[in-house]
């Protein structure tokens, strides 16, 4: 059953009670919350995701997003994220309840999913090959990711690249795409098909909203993909679109430094990372116009298939 098939009343009742069980990529999550904004966010953004009876189904992560206490909520409305009853973060303003759920879910995966080498990077796929997009904040990574998935690329993730340590394949986690500040109106203008939920203002990242993942990406969320490229996007005002090869050794180091669990995995992290880099082409990518950026990526994906098996 999909979440959108749940009547709105049932959704809110379950969410405030036994919780909503959701399948996102390789993980199952049980979410509880008595907040309307959380119910609204899930309803708007997770409609295509599988739900089950949370009393019967096993969940990897049990999370809750609720106000800390009645008294505190009275003089300063706040919200807490909890994981298995533990609150790993300080409370945030109540208006940031929905982004806090998304950030908390990212944290759950990045800290606990040890079967993967997890890199802080977006990842999209076309014609059977994945493009990994690592980049520091402000580089236009999420804007580019949103533009690509609204143009026929499959969303695997906008934040967490999950590399299977046994197979080297990339697993999908196609949750909503986090958009910040100027990227929100840019994506609204880019495509009529973009659904973006209500924005939360004055967060640590500025104004934040989330874009619903495409239906096809959610339907294919159990398909793992071969890595094809590692591309470092950088949005620069007025810049011409340019794709330039970059050092594989330096790319490896950047990915290792931006992986959540590379150090924890020790020699196996090195092995998995090297296997990845051997299979991909690495580029720096500068752009200013989203249309041109998408066209460049499309040309890359249309190039004859490479046989970059690990060696």
Partner 1 sequence: MDRFQIKPFGAEAVVYDGASGDTHYLKPLTFAVFKAFRETPARERHLVIESLGQRLGMPAGSTYTTLAEEALLSLQRIGLLDTQ
Q: Rule CB under 8 A: say whether 252 interacts with partner 1.
A: yes
253 makes contact with partner 1 (CB under 8 A): yes
Coil, strand or helix at 107:
helix
CB atoms within 10 A of CB 33: 25
Residue nearer to partner 1 on the CB measure, 147 or 273: 273
Residue 294 main-chain phi, psi, to 5 deg: -65, -40
Residues 40-56: b if buried by 16+ CB within 10 A, e if exposed = bbbbbbbbbbbbbebee
The reply on whether position 277 binds partner 1 by CB under 8 A is yes
Q: Which is nearer to partner 1, 226 or 248 (CB)?
A: 248
**Residue 162 forms beta bridges with which residues?**
118, 171
263 binds partner 1 (CB under 8 A): yes
Minimal distance, residue 233 CB to partner 1, in Å: 22
Rounded Cα gap, residues 253 and 248, in angstroms: 9
In the complex with partner 1, the residue whose CB is nearer, 132 or 277, is: 277
Tell whether residue 310 is a contact of partner 1 (CB under 8 A): no
Whole-angstrom CA distances from 156 to 3, 32, 152, 311 are 20, 25, 12, 25
Member of 270, 286, 289, 308 binding partner 1 (CB under 8 A): 270
Length of the chain: 311
Contact at 8 Å (CB) between 173 and 122? Answer: no
- Give yes or no for residue 267 binding partner 1 (CB under 8 A): yes
Smaller CB separation from partner 1, 63 or 265: 265
- Contact window for partner 1 (CB under 8 A) among 45-53, 68-76, 128-136, 245-253: 245-253
Q: Which residues bind partner 1 (CB under 8 A)?
A: 247-250, 252-253, 256, 262-263, 266-267, 270-271, 274, 277
């Amino acid at each position: 059953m999909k979440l959108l098939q749940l009547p709105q009343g049932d959704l809110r009742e379950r969410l405030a009670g036994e919780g909503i069980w959701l399948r996102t990529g390789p993980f199952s999550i049980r979410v509880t919350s008595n907040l309307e904004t959380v119910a609204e966010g899930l309803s708007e953004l997770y409609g295509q995701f599988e739900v089950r009876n949370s009393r019967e189904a096993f969940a990897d992560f049990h999370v809750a997003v609720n106000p800390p206490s009645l008294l505190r909520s009275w003089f300063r409305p706040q919200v807490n994220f909890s994981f298995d009853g533990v609150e790993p973060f300080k409370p945030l303003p109540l208006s940031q309840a929905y982004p806090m759920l998304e950030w908390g879910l990212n944290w759950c995966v990045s800290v606990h999913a040890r079967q993967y080498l997890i890199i802080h990077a977006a990842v999209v796929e076309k014609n059977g090959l994945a493009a990994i997009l690592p980049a520091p904040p402000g580089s236009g990574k999420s804007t580019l990711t949103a533009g690509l998935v609204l143009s026929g690329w499959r969303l695997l993730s906008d934040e967490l690249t999950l590399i299977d340590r046994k197979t080297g394949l990339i697993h999908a986690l196609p949750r909503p795409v986090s958009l910040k500040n100027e990227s929100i109106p840019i994506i609204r203008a880019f495509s009529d098909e973009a659904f973006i939920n209500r924005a939360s203002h004055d967060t640590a990242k500025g104004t934040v909203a989330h874009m619903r993942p495409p239906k096809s990406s959610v339907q294919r969320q159990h398909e793992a993909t071969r890595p094809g490229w590692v591309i470092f996007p950088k949005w620069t005002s007025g810049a011409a679109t340019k794709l330039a090869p970059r050092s594989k050794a330096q790319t490896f180091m950047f990915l290792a430094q931006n992986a959540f669990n590379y150090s924890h995995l020790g020699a196996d992290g090195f092995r998995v990372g090297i296997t990845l880099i051997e299979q991909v082409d690495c580029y720096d990518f500068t752009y200013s116009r989203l249309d041109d950026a998408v066209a460049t990526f499309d040309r890359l994906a249309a190039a004859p298939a490479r046989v970059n098996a690990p060696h």
